[in-house]
Structure 1
């Protein structure tokens, strides 16, 4: 694995990023699971859904490394030390109860379990290989997102950052705190109004509902590290997580896209992006 991140600069106030759609599985992964099992963790095809964005002047950041190798939407303190040789991490480890609940599910910076509870490794990881993943994947990804948001804000006096994801139709047993939950078509999250103006989030929800989709707000996904770290609405920096239900555009077993579903989503999301480009949230 060489280039781990694509970062296309923009000219507008809008920044989109896709941290979980990467499909370049590095040789040093050495997982106990087969590739089809690992691939179920991907936000498959999200980068294709938003492929229209750069032509509109929207900055685009995309991870090439897979989420199950390293989750760029987690902080580097979200470490499960029981996965490591020696059982200790040399850096800080989060004590936030909300973070610890995800780590216990096996969904920290380095995943321990699949969404169905299957162990990803049959060995302990070394501290050095985890640090190497952070240096090769996490740091470049976050640097690219930060640069794009800073540039958008400098150009326009505000920025709108959309953190792009997809979700299974039904939550897996080890996926969230709500196993078995049938998801809405979209979930829009701003960490209860702390990472973006609630009015801006409401505008996104209303647009999607107007397109005929069911939309949930801050449940069960509020947004994680990428919106927490870069959202600061008091400084006109708005970060919002948008989750798309995979059943709308793909077969969740074969991972094959549905052409009609993809085309509809692309048209509706293009219209959403154009509406955001015309909107100054200040």
Structure 2
């Protein structure tokens, strides 16, 4: 029986726009959702605390002043366990889905083989997350309830911003575990990704890296996170849409029990607010554009 979206379920995404002083910036929060629909918990083999390990825990609090800086914020409110909006719809390993779906997932990458595809299916030290492989109805329900509405909202926000300002800047915000020794980027606490120059022009990445360095933490560029499906899909510098992914070490703002530390979170939120203001004004062609009406 197909899974249907119940009308009593809370919204899967939210779009928050600035009340005044809009800027040409859109912030995406794909992994900060904390809502677990009953259908998902019923299908889960893993416990909710185990599913919560997929989250970019409380990263939305880093962006709490984003609209104050003039940015539009597009946020997934449902948890990443439902669907990963930073993966493409074709990013799954064949062995993670029901047999009738395997032909459409023929070329899995490293993350997909590890169970971190468009639907997360496994975690280290947990094993399979779901009681049975995803069938066609379950996959469609997850994509239509969260993944597709998120990307539609992000597309709309970027198009509206570009129409108003002549260009748009997408900041895709994530959090990460501390990078272990031996892995590229070890020691960095902020990683700025632009797909090695594909999704943003150098002026933007340079500005983000310089701002992060002024914050006083080690910074890496594209290592080990070069940017995922969101910046790859929506970043089009040749069409006036610049996109960067920012990964922030969770140890900068979370306690060991994964709860937010307000004393350390506030300066990080203030830094992100300042970064958004800075890049809003930094576009090289800004002086050539007429001032947009507020």
Give the TM-score of the pair, scaled to structure 2.
0.86
Query: 1:72 and 2:85 equivalent?
Result: yes
CA distance, structure 1, for counterparts of residue 90 and residue 171 of structure 2: 23
CA distance, structure 2, for counterparts of residue 180 and residue 36 of structure 1: 29
Which ranges in structure 1 are unaligned for 5 or more consecutive residues? 173-177
Cα pair 2:92 2:113 within 8 Å, conserved: no
Give the TM-score of the pair, scaled to structure 1.
0.90
Deviation at 1:139, TM superposition (A): 0.8
Structure having the higher Rg: 2
Deviation at 1:79, TM superposition (A): 2.4
CA distance, structure 1, for counterparts of residue 190 and residue 184 of structure 2: 17
In structure 1, the residue matched to 2:44 is: 31
CA distance, structure 2, for counterparts of residue 101 and residue 194 of structure 1: 21
Which ranges in structure 2 are unaligned for 5 or more consecutive residues? 1-8, 286-294
Cα pair 2:56 2:174 within 8 Å, conserved: yes
Residue by residue, what CA displacement relative to the aligned partner does 1:117-154 show, whole Å, maximum 9, x if unpaired?
62212322221011111011011100010011111111
SS in 2 for 1:6: strand
C-alpha spacing 1:46/1:182, structure 2 compared with 1 (3 Å):
same
C-alpha spacing 1:115/1:9, structure 2 compared with 1 (3 Å):
farther
Query: 1:266 and 2:266 equivalent?
Result: no
Work out the number of aligned pairs and report it.
272
- Give me the CA root mean square deviation: 2.1
Matches within 5 A, 1:108-257: 108-116=117-125, 118-170=127-179, 182-252=186-256, 254-257=257-260
CA distance, structure 2, for counterparts of residue 61 and residue 217 of structure 1: 24
Matches within 5 A, 1:6-25: 6-10=14-18, 11-25=22-36
In structure 2, the residue matched to 1:93 is: 105
CA distance, structure 1, for counterparts of residue 280 and residue 109 of structure 2: 37
SS in 2 for 1:278: helix
